[in-house]
Amino acid sequence: MNIRQKVSLLLILLSIMLALLPLTANRSFSEKPSKLLAEVLGADVSVTVDEVAEFIVREDPDVRLIDLRPADVFIKEAIPGAVNVPYSEFIRSDPDTWISNREVRTIFYSTGNSEADYALVYARGMGYNNCYIMAGGITEWVRTVLDTKFSGGRITARENALFETRRRAGEMYTEYSSLPDSLKAKFLESKKFSAKKLDGGCE
Amino acid sequence: MKFLRQYPFVLIVFLLMVVLVLFRSFGGNNFRYDAARWAESSVKGSNLLTVDQLSAMTGAVLVLNLGDEADLPGQLRPKTVIMRPESITGKENLRLIRKHRGPVILFSDDASTSARVWMILSEMGMRDVYILRDPGAVAE
Amino acid sequence: MAPLSSLYVFPEWLNMLMAFLIGTGFGFALEQAGFSSSRKLAGMFYGYDATVLKVFFTAAIVALIGSQFLGFFGVLNLNQVYVNEFYVTASVVGGFIMGAGFIMGGFCPGTGICAMSIGKIDAMVFVAGGFVGAFLFTETYSLIEGLATAQYRGPVKINEVLGLSPGVFTMILVVAAVGMFWLAELAEKRFARPDITNDL
């Protein structure tokens, strides 16, 4: 039998196998389960709201906040600088679109914790180790940053710095959230992720 | 098959690919293909159970207590297994979960832990895993 | 594992070196297969030699099967593979021009460069013609822009248009390709001409 027939036969058999597989363009987790589990149960995957407040006040360029809440909630109130990727969209498309830049730390947050937790495991499972969550989500943010009032007589220098950061982050949050929707939409449009355009082609 | 045996080279390559594909699809301690499909029920929220829904469930329910002991209402306690979350991918624990026919309920006083463990178990191909919502309410 | 280029940043010279090595390998393979001969390429048109069809189609289906398997095993992220953008009118018009140039010149752009580098004078003229064409295209682009960008469909995939899963489409294409090879070999016998392997 000549080699052409063998190769043809092999290619046909392999393609039949492919036809039987549930192929999609979606990706799969690449880490080992036990390694991933240890990683995401560790304490160093979460960032406190105070740390986030500090990033905001310092306008830290090495941090990117991703808001997983639905778009209509996001437009009403959001942490300044955050980018909105609704959770359903995050799961259903390639996360590489949003978190491929490994030079920055990506911090997820949602209303409470759950969706940020899912997204954290999802992203880390695919090998994006630059992902973290903001512990407690927006609920905790509002409780800690917006609603803390200075009380009592004496205050230490460190406490003072903490309260100052919270106050300024809170001001920025309120100011940003009270912008008219049209203005905000325009601002967000300029920050929107443009899906990376791939170069290539062949002749 | 006799037809194939005339071409040993074709047969070897084909069988090798079959083995690799089977291992990728059903290999024991691995994540399954297509992460988005396994995460879908977390988008819809159908992976969450309330205490009432859990109490109404008939059949074999396995409740995994990932937190500290106690907290569950009396009638559920016999079905509960206490499991440290960090050891859930251990051989014995995985076998226990996989062998169980029926829903597996994750329960923890820290909602983050159950959410993260849920994502890992479900990406490993376990469909019938749920999170018990609002565990605080159970204690009361 | 994502594609290599998104995991690591390679230095520019290494990218260039890899491109050079892959290009050299490609040229060598073309020359080995006899593609630097315009008689072999024109044979496709007259039906006496279907090597071009067989080689390019085999390359396409091997790459297709390979990339699908690599995607399945998580080695290759298929979302990051470039999909050519589809301009319907431009593809039809360009296809006719390309086909006419192919049969008149006796080369396709890649094999033309391959033949030029082994010193064939006709190939040098062919490549020079290609440059003139590219120059004219650029200079007159404003006139033909409407034609070039008409009926833009974006980076579409055939299997998505047909509503088939990638695997099923792969199978259909492979079976069709093998059937085509069989027909091509029949045609080769029907329109046979003296063997030219030794003249090349």
Structural element, H or E, at residue C155 = none
The pLDDT score that the predictor gives to residue C198 is 61
The pLDDT score that the predictor gives to residue B37 is 85
Residues from chain B that touch A1, judged by Cβ atoms under 8 A, are 6-7
Helices (H) and strands (E) in chain C, counts: 10, 2
Instruction: Write the ipTM.
Output: 0.83
* Lowest mean per-residue pLDDT among B128-137, C1-10, C140-149, C157-166: C1-10
Residues from chain B that touch A120, judged by Cβ atoms under 8 A, are 116
B42/A contact by beta carbon, under 8 A:
yes
A11/C contact by beta carbon, under 8 A:
yes
The pLDDT score that the predictor gives to residue C1 is 30
Q: Out of A7-21, A150-164, A171-185, C34-48, give the one with best mean pLDDT.
A: A7-21
C97/A contact by beta carbon, under 8 A:
no
**What tens digit of pLDDT does each residue of A67-76 get?**
898 888 888 8
Tell whether the model's pLDDT for residue A81 goes beyond 90: no
More confident residue, A201 or B131: B131
| CB pair distance less than 8 Å for C72 and B17 | no
| CB pair distance less than 8 Å for C167 and A18 | yes
Question: Using 50, 70 and 90 to split pLDDT, how confident is the model at B140?
Answer: very low
Tokens of A88: 């359903």
Sketch out chain A's domains with CATH numbers. Answer: 33-182 (3.40.250.10)
Residue pair C184/A41 in contact (Cβ under 8 Å)? The answer is no
**C-alpha distance from residue A87 to each of A26, B86, C151 (Å):** 16, 26, 34
Residue among C68, C70, C73 with most chain B CBs within 10 A, to mutate: C73
Q: Which of residues 23-82 of C touch B (CB under 8 A)?
A: 69, 72-74
**C-alpha distance from residue C66 to each of A8, A47, C62, C80 (Å):** 14, 42, 6, 16
Residue pair A91/A24 in contact (Cβ under 8 Å)? The answer is no
**C-alpha distance from residue C46 to each of A14, A77, C39, C49 (Å):** 33, 69, 10, 8
Q: Which of C1, C65, C175 sits opposite A18 (nearest CB)?
A: C65
* Lowest mean per-residue pLDDT among A25-29, A162-166, B75-79, C135-139: B75-79
Average pLDDT value for residue range A50-61 = 84
Instruction: Give the 3-state secondary structure of chain A.
Output: CCHHHHHHHHHHHHHHHHHHCCCCCCCCCCCCHHHHHHHHHCHHHEECHHHHHHHHHHCCCCEEEEECCCHHHHHHCCCCCCEECCHHHHHHCCCHHHHCCCCCEEEEECCCCHHHHHHHHHHHHCCCCCEEEECCHHHHHHHHHHCCCCCCCCCCHHHHHHHHHHHHHHHHHHHHHCCCHHHHHHHHHHHCCCCCCCCCCCC
Angle at the Cα of A180 from the Cα atoms of A69 and A195, rounded to 5 degrees = 45
